[in-house]
C-alpha cells in the first residue's frame, strides 16, 4: 500500500517502548505493510551487536563523530540511553517528509519530548506496552543478544520508560503482534485524514462546490 500524496506533508510516527515490548518486530512489519513509510536510521555510540548491519540498523559512530553531529546541528534530537548516545539524523527526515512520505522513529521518551518541541505538527506518538513485566523479562532473555547484567539494566530501564506513557498520543498493549500492527495502521490512517494534514482540501472543496 502506497499512501504517499506529494501534496501533503508526511507524518513522523514515533514508536517508543521499553526494550523487549516487541517494537522492533512491529517496526519491521509496519515497514513491509506501508511502502510510503521509511525508517529513520539513528546514529549511536553503542557497540554493534552480532547480526546488526551498519547503515541499516544504526549508523555506528564514535563518540567524537557523534559530538561533531551535535555541533553541526545534524541531529533532530539526541539522548543518552543505557550509557550510550543515540540521535536522529535530520536531513533524511526532512527529505522524506517534504516528498510526502512518512518516517518511522524508534526512539525513547527523551527523543519524543524533543521532537514534540520542534515538530509537533508532523508528529504522532505511540507508546507500546508489554502485556506484563514477566513477559518483558522472558522476551529479553529469549533474545540472547545481551549479557545478564545488561538485561537487568534494561528491566530497570523499562520501569522508567513506562513511567512516561502519558506523554504519548496513543498507547497500545502488545498482546498480539498482528493486532498491534492493525492498530498502528489505523492510527496512521486516521492521522492522515486530519483536516489540518490534507493540504489540497480547500481546492477540492472549491471545485466540488463550483463544479
Residues at the contact surface with ligand 5GP, assessed by CB under 6 A:
19, 42, 46, 77, 79, 81, 86-88, 106-108, 110-111
Q: How far is the CB of 19 from ligand 5GP (least distance, A)?
A: 5
Q: Which residues are CB-contacts of 182 (< 8 A; sequence separation ≥ 6)?
A: none
Judge contact between 143 and 8, C-beta under 8 A.
no
Nearer to ligand 5GP, 11 or 61 (CB): 61
If the CB atoms of residues 3 and 69 are measured against ligand 5GP, the closer one turns out to be 69
Closest CA to 115 of 92, 87, 135, 91: 87
| C-alpha grid cell, residue 63 | 563518540
Smallest separation (angstroms) from ligand 5GP to the CB of 89: 8
Residue closer to ligand 5GP (CB basis): 7 or 156: 156
Considering beta carbons, is residue 158 or 188 the nearer one to ligand 5GP?
A: 158
The nearest distance, CB 52 to ligand 5GP, in angstroms, is: 8
Task: For the CB of residue 106, give the shortest distance to ligand 5GP in the complex, in Å.
Answer: 5
Distance, CA of 159 to CA of 179 (rounded, Å): 24
Query: Which three-class secondary structure state does DSSP give residue 75?
Result: strand
Contact criterion met (CB below 8 Å) for 156 and 162: no
Amino acid at each position: 500500500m502506497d499512501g504517499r500524496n506529494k501534496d501533503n506533508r508526511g507524518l513522523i510516527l514515533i514508536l517508543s517502548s521499553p526494550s523487549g515490548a516487541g517494537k522492533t518486530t512491529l517496526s519491521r512489519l509496519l515497514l513491509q505493510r506501508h511502502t510510503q513509510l521509511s525508517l529513520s536510521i539513528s546514529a549511536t555510540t553503542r557497540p554493534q551487536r552480532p547480526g546488526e548491519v551498519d547503515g541499516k540498523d544504526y549508523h555506528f559512530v564514535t563518540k567524537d563523530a557523534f559530538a561533531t553531529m551535535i555541533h553541526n546541528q545534524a541531529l533532530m534530537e539526541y539522548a543518552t540511553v543505557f550509557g550510550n548516545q543515540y540521535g536522529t539524523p535530520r536531513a533524511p527526515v526532512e527529505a522524506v517528509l517534504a516528498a510526502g512520505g512518512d518516517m518511522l522513529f524508534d526512539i525513547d521518551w527523551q527523543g519524543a519530548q524533543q521532537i514534540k518541541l520542534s515538530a509537533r505538527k508532523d508528529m504522532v506518538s505511540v507508546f507500546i506496552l508489554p502485556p506484563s513485566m514477566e513477559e518483558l523479562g522472558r522476551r529479553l532473555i529469549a533474545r540472547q543478544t545481551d549479557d545478564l547484567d545488561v538485561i537487568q539494566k534494561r528491566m530497570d530501564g523499562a520501569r522508567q520508560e513506562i513511567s512516561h506513557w502519558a506523554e504519548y498520543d496513543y498507547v497500545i498493549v502488545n498482546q498480539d503482534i498482528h493486532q498491534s500492527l492493525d492498530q498502528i495502521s489505523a492510527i496512521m490512517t486516521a492521522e492522515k485524514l486530519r483536516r489540518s494534514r490534507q493540504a489540497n482540501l480547500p481546492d477540492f472543496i472549491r471545485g466540488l462546490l463550483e463544479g
